[in-house]
Amino acid sequence: MSLRYAILTSLANQPASGWDLARHFGRSIGFFWQASHQQIYRELRRLDDDGLVRTEEATGQRGPRRKVYHLTPEGREALLNWLQTPAAESVVRDELLVKVFGGWQLEPPQLRALLDQARTDHTDRLAQYRELDRELAQSTSRKARFARLTLQRGIFEEEAWLKWLDQAKAEIG
């Protein structure tokens, strides 16, 4: 049910097409709420059915036709209500940790391969977060401050992963 509100949150920042949202979900709000373009198009249709967003065919644009969605007053109200309700605890499903839990059945080289790959992933993501943070640091708007706050959470998360990966590698030798 939260994809709906993730979309509304994004549209509250600025009106956007399904395509824009899908891209955006790949590099800002999408860091902590992932969704494919199929999900987004489906949910946009429902939001439209429910009157929380409206769309206009973007005119005078170059490129293929675009449907640009924006919040309706009802959409803005629904978003504000949701923002004020307590957040549900997030569901964790982490394959790597299941594998490490069963790691007593593996040889050290196999374990190392698992951890090394994770290290690459997390190093990359940390770099990506830091770069985006530098970009956002240019802006002093209230919106940007909150976006940076969430990015900071991503940075702490990745730092914690790297710290753990170092320790795990040291321990398995």
Side-chain-facing half-sphere of 142: CA atoms under 13 Å: 1
Residue 44 partner contact from DNA, a copy of itself, none using kind-dependent CB cut-offs of 5 to 8 Å: DNA
Q: What amino acid is encoded at 106 in this protein?
A: L
**Of the residues 3, 12, 136, 172, which one makes contact with DNA according to CB under 7 A:** 3
Residue 114 · residue 100 · CB < 8 Å:
yes
Q: How far apart are CA 25 and CA 43, in angstroms?
A: 14
Q: Does 99 bind DNA (CB under 7 A)?
A: no
| Binding at 38: pick from a copy of itself, DNA, none (beta carbon under 5-8 Å per type) | DNA
Q: Which of 11, 18, 25, 115 binds DNA (CB under 7 A)?
A: 18
Q: Pick the closest to residue 160 from 126, 110, 129, 115 (CA basis).
A: 126
Q: What's the first-to-final CA gap in the chain, in angstroms? A: 44
Report in angstroms the alpha-carbon separations of 123 from 113, 127, 155, 158: 15, 6, 10, 7
Interface residue with a copy of itself, options 34, 69, 135, 139 (CB under 8 A): 34
Q: Is 131 a binder of a copy of itself (CB under 8 A)?
A: no
Residue with Cβ nearer DNA (18 or 154): 18
Backbone angles phi, psi at 110, to 5 degrees: -70, -40
89 near DNA (CB under 7 A):
no
Residue 67 makes contact with DNA by CB under 7 A: yes
Query: Shortest Cβ distance from residue 115 to a copy of itself (Å)?
Result: 10
Q: Which is nearer to a copy of itself, 66 or 168 (CB)?
A: 168
